[in-house]
Amino acid sequence: MDGGLARVLVACPFNDAALKTLLRGDINVDYRPTMSQQELDQVYTDYDALVVRGNLRVRPLKGKGSLKVIVRAGAGLDNIAVEEFEKLGVKVFNTPDAVAESVGELVIGLMISLSRGVFKAASALCRGEWLKHGLMGQELSGKTLGIIGFGRIGHVVAKIAHAIGMRILVYDIVKFPEEELRLYGAEQVSLEKLLSESDYVSVHTPLTGETRNMLGERELRAMKRTAYLINTARGHIVDQEALKNALKEGWIAGAALDVFSEEPPKDLELLSIPNLIPTPHIGAQTREAQERASFEAAGILVRELKGS
Ligand code: NAD
Protein backbone atom coordinates (compact mmCIF):
# COMPACT_ATOMS: atom_id res chain seq x y z
CA MET A 1 0.00 0.00 0.00
CA ASP A 2 1.39 3.46 0.88
CA GLY A 3 1.52 4.55 -2.75
CA GLY A 4 1.82 1.04 -4.31
CA LEU A 5 -0.62 -1.84 -4.64
CA ALA A 6 -1.48 -3.81 -1.52
CA ARG A 7 0.37 -7.13 -1.44
CA VAL A 8 -1.44 -10.27 -0.29
CA LEU A 9 0.12 -13.65 0.32
CA VAL A 10 -2.41 -16.48 -0.12
CA ALA A 11 -0.59 -19.38 1.54
CA CYS A 12 -3.33 -22.00 1.16
CA PRO A 13 -5.53 -23.52 -1.55
CA PHE A 14 -8.03 -20.85 -2.67
CA ASN A 15 -11.00 -20.82 -5.03
CA ASP A 16 -10.07 -19.52 -8.54
CA ALA A 17 -13.02 -17.15 -8.90
CA ALA A 18 -12.40 -15.71 -5.42
CA LEU A 19 -8.76 -15.18 -6.33
CA LYS A 20 -9.91 -13.22 -9.40
CA THR A 21 -12.05 -10.92 -7.24
CA LEU A 22 -8.84 -9.99 -5.42
CA LEU A 23 -6.96 -9.33 -8.64
CA ARG A 24 -9.85 -7.24 -9.98
CA GLY A 25 -9.67 -5.22 -6.74
CA ASP A 26 -6.20 -3.98 -7.72
CA ILE A 27 -4.55 -6.18 -5.13
CA ASN A 28 -1.21 -7.76 -5.89
CA VAL A 29 -1.65 -11.46 -5.04
CA ASP A 30 1.13 -13.93 -4.42
CA TYR A 31 -0.59 -17.35 -4.60
CA ARG A 32 1.55 -20.00 -2.90
CA PRO A 33 -0.84 -22.76 -1.77
CA THR A 34 1.86 -25.26 -0.79
CA MET A 35 4.09 -22.90 1.14
CA SER A 36 6.09 -24.47 4.00
CA GLN A 37 6.22 -23.19 7.58
CA GLN A 38 9.85 -22.16 7.14
CA GLU A 39 9.07 -20.13 3.99
CA LEU A 40 6.12 -18.40 5.66
CA ASP A 41 8.21 -17.49 8.73
CA GLN A 42 10.80 -15.90 6.44
CA VAL A 43 8.53 -13.83 4.19
CA TYR A 44 5.33 -12.94 6.12
CA THR A 45 6.56 -9.44 7.02
CA ASP A 46 6.82 -8.48 3.30
CA TYR A 47 3.03 -8.49 2.80
CA ASP A 48 0.12 -6.24 3.75
CA ALA A 49 -2.13 -9.26 4.29
CA LEU A 50 -1.92 -13.03 4.71
CA VAL A 51 -4.48 -15.74 4.04
CA VAL A 52 -3.89 -19.12 5.68
CA ARG A 53 -5.78 -22.24 6.69
CA GLY A 54 -5.05 -24.37 9.77
CA ASN A 55 -1.85 -26.09 8.61
CA LEU A 56 0.58 -23.16 9.06
CA ARG A 57 1.33 -21.35 12.30
CA VAL A 58 1.41 -17.57 12.08
CA ARG A 59 3.51 -15.92 14.78
CA PRO A 60 5.12 -12.47 14.95
CA LEU A 61 8.63 -13.94 14.97
CA LYS A 62 10.09 -10.83 13.29
CA GLY A 63 7.51 -8.28 14.42
CA LYS A 64 4.77 -7.28 12.02
CA GLY A 65 6.69 -5.69 9.12
CA SER A 66 4.12 -4.40 6.58
CA LEU A 67 1.41 -6.73 7.85
CA LYS A 68 -2.00 -5.21 8.56
CA VAL A 69 -4.47 -8.08 8.15
CA ILE A 70 -4.45 -11.87 8.65
CA VAL A 71 -7.38 -13.95 7.43
CA ARG A 72 -7.83 -17.56 8.44
CA ALA A 73 -9.99 -19.13 5.69
CA GLY A 74 -11.95 -21.44 7.99
CA ALA A 75 -12.93 -21.57 11.66
CA GLY A 76 -10.32 -22.21 14.40
CA LEU A 77 -7.84 -19.42 15.15
CA ASP A 78 -5.61 -21.56 17.34
CA ASN A 79 -2.80 -21.60 14.74
CA ILE A 80 -2.54 -17.80 14.85
CA ALA A 81 -1.00 -15.74 17.67
CA VAL A 82 -4.09 -13.51 17.70
CA GLU A 83 -3.40 -11.52 20.88
CA GLU A 84 0.24 -10.83 20.00
CA PHE A 85 -0.69 -9.64 16.50
CA GLU A 86 -3.57 -7.51 17.78
CA LYS A 87 -1.19 -5.81 20.23
CA LEU A 88 0.97 -4.94 17.21
CA GLY A 89 -2.06 -3.43 15.45
CA VAL A 90 -2.64 -6.32 13.01
CA LYS A 91 -6.31 -7.28 12.53
CA VAL A 92 -7.12 -11.02 12.54
CA PHE A 93 -10.27 -12.49 10.94
CA ASN A 94 -11.71 -15.95 10.28
CA THR A 95 -14.69 -17.31 8.31
CA PRO A 96 -16.43 -19.78 10.67
CA ASP A 97 -19.88 -19.52 9.04
CA ALA A 98 -18.47 -20.87 5.78
CA VAL A 99 -17.68 -24.33 7.15
CA ALA A 100 -20.38 -25.05 9.76
CA GLU A 101 -22.74 -26.98 7.46
CA SER A 102 -19.94 -29.27 6.26
CA VAL A 103 -18.69 -30.08 9.76
CA GLY A 104 -22.25 -30.67 10.98
CA GLU A 105 -22.97 -33.11 8.14
CA LEU A 106 -19.74 -35.00 8.88
CA VAL A 107 -20.82 -35.43 12.51
CA ILE A 108 -24.08 -37.07 11.43
CA GLY A 109 -22.12 -39.28 9.00
CA LEU A 110 -19.79 -40.36 11.80
CA MET A 111 -22.74 -41.08 14.11
CA ILE A 112 -24.28 -43.35 11.46
CA SER A 113 -20.90 -44.97 10.73
CA LEU A 114 -20.41 -45.74 14.44
CA SER A 115 -23.95 -47.07 14.87
CA ARG A 116 -23.86 -49.32 11.80
CA GLY A 117 -20.23 -50.47 11.94
CA VAL A 118 -19.62 -49.00 8.47
CA PHE A 119 -15.87 -48.62 8.94
CA LYS A 120 -15.45 -52.14 10.38
CA ALA A 121 -17.72 -53.71 7.74
CA ALA A 122 -15.97 -52.01 4.82
CA SER A 123 -12.44 -52.81 6.03
CA ALA A 124 -13.42 -56.47 6.64
CA LEU A 125 -14.97 -56.78 3.19
CA CYS A 126 -11.85 -55.32 1.60
CA ARG A 127 -10.01 -58.26 3.22
CA GLY A 128 -12.65 -60.64 1.77
CA GLU A 129 -14.64 -61.08 5.03
CA TRP A 130 -18.47 -60.90 4.89
CA LEU A 131 -19.31 -59.66 8.41
CA LYS A 132 -23.06 -59.20 7.92
CA HIS A 133 -24.27 -61.26 10.89
CA GLY A 134 -21.65 -59.98 13.29
CA LEU A 135 -22.77 -56.39 12.80
CA MET A 136 -26.09 -55.60 14.44
CA GLY A 137 -26.45 -51.82 14.38
CA GLN A 138 -28.90 -49.33 15.80
CA GLU A 139 -30.95 -46.43 14.40
CA LEU A 140 -30.34 -42.82 15.39
CA SER A 141 -34.07 -42.10 15.43
CA GLY A 142 -35.42 -42.10 18.99
CA LYS A 143 -31.95 -41.88 20.57
CA THR A 144 -30.61 -38.99 22.65
CA LEU A 145 -27.88 -36.72 21.29
CA GLY A 146 -25.89 -34.51 23.68
CA ILE A 147 -24.34 -31.43 22.06
CA ILE A 148 -21.55 -29.75 24.04
CA GLY A 149 -21.19 -26.19 22.68
CA PHE A 150 -24.33 -24.99 20.90
CA GLY A 151 -22.73 -22.54 18.44
CA ARG A 152 -22.69 -22.56 14.65
CA ILE A 153 -21.79 -26.23 14.19
CA GLY A 154 -23.81 -27.36 17.22
CA HIS A 155 -26.89 -25.75 15.62
CA VAL A 156 -26.32 -27.53 12.27
CA VAL A 157 -25.96 -30.89 14.05
CA ALA A 158 -29.14 -30.20 16.06
CA LYS A 159 -31.07 -29.25 12.91
CA ILE A 160 -30.26 -32.53 11.12
CA ALA A 161 -30.57 -34.72 14.24
CA HIS A 162 -33.97 -33.20 15.03
CA ALA A 163 -35.15 -34.04 11.49
CA ILE A 164 -33.94 -37.64 11.99
CA GLY A 165 -36.07 -37.89 15.14
CA MET A 166 -33.46 -37.65 17.89
CA ARG A 167 -34.00 -36.16 21.35
CA ILE A 168 -31.51 -33.32 21.81
CA LEU A 169 -29.75 -32.16 24.98
CA VAL A 170 -27.52 -29.10 24.90
CA TYR A 171 -24.78 -27.94 27.27
CA ASP A 172 -23.30 -24.45 26.80
CA ILE A 173 -22.00 -21.60 28.98
CA VAL A 174 -24.46 -19.30 27.20
CA LYS A 175 -28.11 -19.62 28.22
CA PHE A 176 -30.31 -20.05 25.13
CA PRO A 177 -33.91 -18.79 25.00
CA GLU A 178 -36.66 -21.44 25.11
CA GLU A 179 -38.01 -20.36 21.67
CA GLU A 180 -34.64 -21.07 20.09
CA LEU A 181 -34.25 -24.48 21.78
CA ARG A 182 -37.83 -25.40 20.80
CA LEU A 183 -36.93 -25.07 17.08
CA TYR A 184 -34.74 -28.17 17.54
CA GLY A 185 -36.83 -29.88 20.21
CA ALA A 186 -33.78 -29.29 22.41
CA GLU A 187 -33.39 -28.96 26.18
CA GLN A 188 -30.49 -27.08 27.80
CA VAL A 189 -29.10 -29.14 30.68
CA SER A 190 -26.08 -29.53 32.97
CA LEU A 191 -23.00 -31.36 31.63
CA GLU A 192 -23.67 -34.17 34.15
CA LYS A 193 -27.22 -34.75 32.86
CA LEU A 194 -26.08 -34.59 29.24
CA LEU A 195 -23.33 -37.16 29.82
CA SER A 196 -25.48 -39.59 31.77
CA GLU A 197 -28.51 -39.52 29.42
CA SER A 198 -26.99 -39.27 25.91
CA ASP A 199 -26.53 -42.15 23.48
CA TYR A 200 -24.25 -39.90 21.39
CA VAL A 201 -22.15 -37.01 22.73
CA SER A 202 -20.76 -34.55 20.17
CA VAL A 203 -18.24 -31.84 21.10
CA HIS A 204 -18.48 -28.36 19.50
CA THR A 205 -16.74 -25.86 21.81
CA PRO A 206 -13.65 -23.86 20.91
CA LEU A 207 -10.38 -24.89 22.57
CA THR A 208 -9.90 -22.52 25.53
CA GLY A 209 -8.32 -22.72 28.96
CA GLU A 210 -11.70 -23.93 30.25
CA THR A 211 -12.38 -26.53 27.58
CA ARG A 212 -8.88 -28.08 27.49
CA ASN A 213 -9.33 -31.67 28.75
CA MET A 214 -12.97 -30.85 29.51
CA LEU A 215 -13.79 -34.51 28.82
CA GLY A 216 -11.44 -36.60 30.96
CA GLU A 217 -11.75 -39.84 32.90
CA ARG A 218 -14.53 -38.60 35.21
CA GLU A 219 -16.69 -37.36 32.31
CA LEU A 220 -16.08 -40.43 30.13
CA ARG A 221 -16.99 -42.72 33.03
CA ALA A 222 -20.18 -40.69 33.51
CA MET A 223 -21.34 -41.59 29.98
CA LYS A 224 -23.48 -44.68 29.26
CA ARG A 225 -21.47 -47.81 28.44
CA THR A 226 -23.51 -48.00 25.22
CA ALA A 227 -22.79 -44.37 24.22
CA TYR A 228 -20.60 -42.97 21.43
CA LEU A 229 -18.37 -39.87 21.56
CA ILE A 230 -17.75 -37.72 18.48
CA ASN A 231 -15.08 -35.00 18.53
CA THR A 232 -14.78 -32.77 15.46
CA ALA A 233 -13.86 -29.66 17.50
CA ARG A 234 -10.27 -29.71 18.78
CA GLY A 235 -8.16 -32.65 19.95
CA HIS A 236 -7.14 -31.20 23.30
CA ILE A 237 -10.77 -30.85 24.46
CA VAL A 238 -10.82 -34.63 25.07
CA ASP A 239 -8.10 -36.18 27.23
CA GLN A 240 -6.66 -38.63 24.70
CA GLU A 241 -5.14 -40.99 27.31
CA ALA A 242 -8.46 -41.21 29.17
CA LEU A 243 -10.27 -41.84 25.88
CA LYS A 244 -7.93 -44.71 25.03
CA ASN A 245 -8.75 -46.33 28.37
CA ALA A 246 -12.47 -45.67 27.87
CA LEU A 247 -12.44 -47.43 24.51
CA LYS A 248 -10.21 -50.32 25.53
CA GLU A 249 -11.97 -50.97 28.85
CA GLY A 250 -15.52 -50.44 27.57
CA TRP A 251 -16.53 -47.36 29.60
CA ILE A 252 -18.18 -46.25 26.33
CA ALA A 253 -19.10 -48.15 23.14
CA GLY A 254 -16.99 -46.21 20.64
CA ALA A 255 -15.76 -42.88 19.36
CA ALA A 256 -15.08 -40.94 16.18
CA LEU A 257 -12.31 -38.35 16.10
CA ASP A 258 -11.68 -35.84 13.31
CA VAL A 259 -9.21 -33.92 15.48
CA PHE A 260 -6.26 -34.97 17.64
CA SER A 261 -3.99 -33.44 20.26
CA GLU A 262 -1.18 -33.85 17.71
CA GLU A 263 -1.93 -33.69 13.95
CA PRO A 264 -1.19 -35.92 12.14
CA PRO A 265 -1.42 -38.22 15.19
CA LYS A 266 1.57 -40.44 15.89
CA ASP A 267 -0.18 -42.42 18.62
CA LEU A 268 -0.53 -45.76 16.81
CA GLU A 269 -2.01 -47.36 19.92
CA LEU A 270 -4.95 -44.94 19.69
CA LEU A 271 -5.37 -45.35 15.93
CA SER A 272 -5.47 -49.14 16.16
CA ILE A 273 -8.34 -49.31 18.66
CA PRO A 274 -11.14 -51.16 16.80
CA ASN A 275 -14.09 -49.15 18.19
CA LEU A 276 -12.54 -45.84 17.06
CA ILE A 277 -13.19 -44.14 13.71
CA PRO A 278 -10.33 -41.69 13.06
CA THR A 279 -10.51 -39.17 10.20
CA PRO A 280 -7.74 -36.72 9.19
CA HIS A 281 -9.39 -33.36 10.14
CA ILE A 282 -11.75 -33.39 7.14
CA GLY A 283 -14.66 -31.50 8.75
CA ALA A 284 -14.39 -28.52 6.41
CA GLN A 285 -13.04 -30.44 3.42
CA THR A 286 -15.94 -29.96 1.02
CA ARG A 287 -16.04 -28.01 -2.23
CA GLU A 288 -18.86 -25.86 -0.86
CA ALA A 289 -17.14 -24.97 2.42
CA GLN A 290 -13.86 -24.14 0.70
CA GLU A 291 -15.61 -22.01 -1.92
CA ARG A 292 -17.56 -20.08 0.73
CA ALA A 293 -14.41 -19.65 2.88
CA SER A 294 -12.45 -18.29 -0.11
CA PHE A 295 -15.16 -15.79 -1.10
CA GLU A 296 -15.61 -14.63 2.52
CA ALA A 297 -11.84 -14.23 2.92
CA ALA A 298 -11.63 -12.28 -0.37
CA GLY A 299 -14.48 -10.01 0.79
CA ILE A 300 -12.68 -9.27 4.07
CA LEU A 301 -9.43 -8.44 2.22
CA VAL A 302 -11.09 -6.08 -0.26
CA ARG A 303 -12.94 -4.34 2.58
CA GLU A 304 -9.87 -4.02 4.81
CA LEU A 305 -7.29 -3.14 2.13
CA LYS A 306 -9.38 -1.12 -0.27
CA GLY A 307 -12.04 0.19 2.14
CA SER A 308 -14.93 -1.03 -0.07
P1 NAD B 1 -18.89 -21.30 17.77
O2 NAD B 1 -18.03 -20.25 18.37
O3 NAD B 1 -19.94 -20.91 16.81
O4 NAD B 1 -19.61 -22.12 18.96
C5 NAD B 1 -18.94 -22.56 20.10
C6 NAD B 1 -19.95 -22.70 21.24
O7 NAD B 1 -19.25 -23.25 22.37
C8 NAD B 1 -20.57 -21.37 21.69
O9 NAD B 1 -21.97 -21.49 21.78
C10 NAD B 1 -19.92 -21.14 23.06
O11 NAD B 1 -20.77 -20.43 23.96
C12 NAD B 1 -19.70 -22.57 23.54
N13 NAD B 1 -18.69 -22.68 24.59
C14 NAD B 1 -17.53 -21.94 24.73
N15 NAD B 1 -16.89 -22.32 25.86
C16 NAD B 1 -17.65 -23.30 26.42
C17 NAD B 1 -17.53 -24.07 27.61
N18 NAD B 1 -16.49 -23.92 28.45
N19 NAD B 1 -18.50 -24.97 27.90
C20 NAD B 1 -19.56 -25.12 27.07
N21 NAD B 1 -19.75 -24.41 25.94
C22 NAD B 1 -18.80 -23.51 25.63
O23 NAD B 1 -17.89 -22.39 17.14
P24 NAD B 1 -18.15 -23.30 15.85
O25 NAD B 1 -17.88 -22.52 14.62
O26 NAD B 1 -19.44 -24.01 16.03
O27 NAD B 1 -16.91 -24.33 16.02
C28 NAD B 1 -16.93 -25.30 17.05
C29 NAD B 1 -15.62 -26.09 17.09
O30 NAD B 1 -15.43 -26.77 15.85
C31 NAD B 1 -14.36 -25.22 17.28
O32 NAD B 1 -13.49 -25.93 18.17
C33 NAD B 1 -13.73 -25.19 15.90
O34 NAD B 1 -12.35 -24.99 15.95
C35 NAD B 1 -14.08 -26.58 15.40
N36 NAD B 1 -14.05 -26.76 13.94
C37 NAD B 1 -13.56 -27.92 13.44
C38 NAD B 1 -13.53 -28.12 12.07
C39 NAD B 1 -13.03 -29.41 11.48
O40 NAD B 1 -12.56 -29.40 10.34
N41 NAD B 1 -13.13 -30.51 12.18
C42 NAD B 1 -13.97 -27.09 11.19
C43 NAD B 1 -14.50 -25.93 11.75
C44 NAD B 1 -14.53 -25.77 13.14
**Hey, what domains does the chain have and what are their CATH numbers?**
6-96+287-306 (3.40.50.720), 98-278 (3.40.50.720)
243 C-alpha to ligand 1 centroid (Å): 20
Determine if ligand 1 sits within 6 Å of the CB of residue 98: no
Give the pLDDT confidence score for residue 26 in this predicted structure.
Answer: 81
- Pick from 220, 218, 157: which is nearest to 172 by CA? 157
Model confidence, pTM: 0.93
- Check: CB of residue 91 under 8 Å from CB of residue 69: yes
201 C-alpha to ligand 1 centroid (Å): 14
Cα torsion 9, 12, 16, 21: sign: negative
- Check: CB of residue 223 under 8 Å from CB of residue 229: yes
Q: CA-CA distance, 201 to 189, in Å (whole number)?
A: 13
Q: CA-CA distance, 171 to 20, in Å (whole number)?
A: 42
Determine if ligand 1 sits within 6 Å of the CB of residue 289: no
One-letter amino acid at 75 equals A
Could you read off the pLDDT tens digit of each residue along the chain, which spans 308 residues? 545 789 999 999 999 999 998 888 788 999 999 999 999 999 999 999 999 999 899 999 999 999 999 999 998 898 999 999 999 999 999 999 999 999 999 999 999 999 999 999 999 999 999 999 989 999 999 999 999 999 999 999 999 999 999 999 999 999 999 999 999 999 999 999 999 999 999 999 999 999 999 999 999 999 999 999 999 999 999 999 999 999 999 999 999 999 999 999 999 999 999 999 999 999 999 999 999 999 999 999 999 998 76
